[in-house]
A and B are shown apart, each in its own frame.
Chain A
Amino acid sequence: MYVAVKGGEKAIANSERLVAETRRGDPAVPELSLAQIQQQLTLAVDRVMNEGALYDRTLAALAIKQARGDLIEAIFLLRAYRTTLPRLGDALPVETARMLLQRRISATFKDVPGGQVLGPTFDYTHRLLDFELAETASAKPAAESAPAEPEAAVPRVADLLGREGLIEAAPTHVAQAPVPDLTQMPLAFPAERALRLQNLARGDEGFLLAMGYSTQRGYGHTHPFVGEIRMGTVGVEYVPPELGFPIEIAEITVTECDMVNQFRGTDTAPPQFTRGYGLAFGAAERKAMAMALVDRALRARELGEARTAPAQDEEFVLSHSDNVEASGFVQHLKLPHYVDFQSELVLVRAMRREWDSERKPNLTEAAE
């Protein structure tokens, strides 16, 4: 009886075996391969890479398989792995103006230099369950491929506005200026924008979505327009100290969102459009857009706006955006707390006795 409340090594080992068994499901059904996950659950892989903060499709696929499709658990697995990896150096900032585009749209202009390219988007699909997919589908005709690789870099829409001085200048990257690293130093407040963006980049998509959404419903309205969303591959360049010039070490797929926001101007800043920025690994448009909305909302302090809404409160947003932290702390309530609960029991019983004894005489008095 006493043993019943205690657990042991054997129970944990058995539970681990059950996890493995449940993961596999019916052995008559072929086992999922990492290639299948990488090729057919691409958006799940992208999300795990984003919030897991590690660009590795194979490891993300492995994490998804191991976590039985629980993406937050998969993100946790990937994070716990990435934290042990040595750091070899910092890459140069990726140049998204030189992106090999798969998708690129702007909502602020009917057409833009470089064109609007829909790419693989759910946006204009009818959300009807496709029962043909239930069967193993035969090969469908291949889609007409996007226009040939652009000859030159496709300018960013925000940069077009910038030529007129109608939008604030993009923060210039100061070469050699150290960029704070969220994974190497704890978050401190007030947090500068580079640090905030790092936090948002690995932040939970659902949380950012809700925060971004709240700004659209009056809690810190920022009057946003999608200046541009682009998705495609960019080169990652690194300058090895022994070479002294950049070499391309990888190609990664990213989604970038430039949100253009109305700004009426202040005493020190002229009326002009301001920016909210989102960047995510892979095809992660919802995440990049939500991130851009929240980024802009969090700039309230530097732009001299009143900070009244949750999305403008950096301590609130940045302290609660990480789903590995949130999931852990919420779920730790499952761990035994009986010592503290006993302490509460002792207190509540004592207070209850006092409460009862205070009220009983009053009752008899009232009866008299």
Chain B
Amino acid sequence: MTALATQALPSRAHNFAYLDEQTKRMIRRALLKAVAVPGHQVPFASREMPLPYGWGTGGIQVTASILGADDVLKVIDQGADDTTNAVNIRRLFAKTADVATTTRTEEATVIQTRHRIPETPLREGQILVFQVPIPEPLRWLEPRETETLKLHALADYGLMQVDLYEDIAQYGRIAQSYDYPIEVHGRYVSSPSPIPKFDNPKLDRNPALLLFGAGREKRIYAIPPYTRVKSLDFDDHPFTVEKWDRPCDLCGATDSYLDEVVTDDKGGRLFCCSDTDYCEKRRAASAEKGMP
């Protein structure tokens, strides 16, 4: 008791990056296992975080466990750095870890994201941390964990193939627009998190390390750099992504995912890049060249 009583009070209210070192160690172990078995969901003892479940507690715990003092952190939600949730998570780490933050994709060493993969290609050494609400891709087909565990163990993905086939039979296409199921390294069917399927091709052989954290569901999984990732499809119905018949109204990009902003109540719409950093960079570049 004496030892406890005389223990020096911590210099700040929380440990570096909020989580205590024991918890970080537990999460890092889960991460190592996840990297070793690409696409496999590893259970971990998820903690309550000072942000609610559903706000990205899985991603936050992963980020907190891998963040070092000299990391540069970028946080995006819907592709944007300035959405409230992104601002809030960045604020949490700026406060508890005192790390440098950035909005520029190429400057960041760790990027936490919800619902998007940046348009700027990632490079080796970067880590992209996804916030995942439902890590189990088979959950909508089989609600029981005891059953889905077996299906994964046996690589029995017939249910998923049938589900996709039923879409084709009923609608003439696979009617899954986001959280589109992927096969990782030819083995595990996984959830890419609710990114639009537009982003799925970026998962394939990406030079960056992709980590997925699901706090409420207590699962972690990973796609190591340069891992093969295939979006499930059929030979006669190949995987396709969303297309727009117009460029970004702000920067003119024709290769980026566009948000549709309602501008008035008469059908007015503005289409602009969902990746705010990409859009701003393109606009700055064209301003330098003296283009409109």
Which residues of A come within 8 Å of B, CB atoms? 1-2, 5-9, 11-12, 76, 79-80, 82-84, 86, 183-190, 315, 319, 324-325, 327-333, 335-340, 342-347, 350-351, 354
Contact = CB atoms under 8 A, between A and B. Distances in A.
Given A1-B263, A9-B87, A340 B53 contact: no
Contacts of A76: 48, 52
Contacts of B52: 76, 324, 327-328, 331-332
A340 B178 contact: yes
B80 interface: yes
B77 A328 contact: no
B140 interface: no
Interface in B189-231: 194-198, 216, 218-219
B6 interface: no
Nearest to B271: A342
B48 A347 contact: no
Contacts of B196: 339-340, 342-343
A8 B276 CA distance: 14
Nearest to A355: B171
Contacts of A345: 260
22 contacts: A2-B272, A6-B82, A8-B84, A9-B87, A80-B48, A80-B50, A186-B46, A188-B43, A189-B145, A324-B52, A331-B54, A336-B84, A339-B78, A339-B79, A339-B195, A340-B194, A342-B196, A343-B178, A343-B197, A346-B244, A350-B173, A354-B172
Contacts of B258: 342
B175 interface: yes
A38 B47 CA distance: 27
Nearest to B179: A340
Contact of A79 (B48, B78, B84): B48
Nearest to B249: A2
Contacts of B85: 335-336
B177 A12 contact: no
B242 interface: yes
B104 interface: no
B49 interface: yes
A330 B79 CA distance: 22
Nearest to B257: A339
Contacts of A188: 43, 145
Nearest to B49: A80
Contacts of A185: 43, 45
Contacts of A335: 54-55, 77, 85, 114
Nearest to B77: A336
Contacts of A340: 115, 177-179, 194, 196
A84 B50 CA distance: 10
Contacts of A12: 84, 87-88, 91
B83 A7 contact: yes
Contacts of B46: 186
B216 A328 contact: yes
B270 interface: yes
B71 interface: no
B242 A346 contact: yes
Nearest to A185: B45
Contacts of B87: 7-9, 12
B14 interface: yes
A266 B289 CA distance: 85
Interface in B22-74: 43-50, 52-55, 57
Given A12-B84, A342-B257, 15 more contacts: A1-B270, A2-B261, A7-B87, A12-B91, A80-B50, A83-B48, A186-B219, A188-B43, A324-B53, A328-B57, A331-B52, A335-B54, A335-B55, A335-B77, A351-B173
A338 B47 CA distance: 28
Contact of B53 (A84, A315, A332): A332
B183 interface: no
B133 interface: yes
Nearest to A181: B45
B19 to A, nearest CB: 8
B80 A186 contact: no
Identify the 8 closest CB pairs spanning chains A and B, nearest first: A332-B54, A328-B53, A7-B84, A328-B52, A186-B218, A343-B196, A343-B177, A340-B178
B78 A338 contact: yes
Given A6-B80, A340-B177, A315 B45 contact: no
Contacts of A351: 171, 173, 175
Contacts of A336: 77-78, 83-85
A6 B83 contact: yes
B259 interface: yes
A49 to B, nearest CB: 15
Nearest to B53: A328
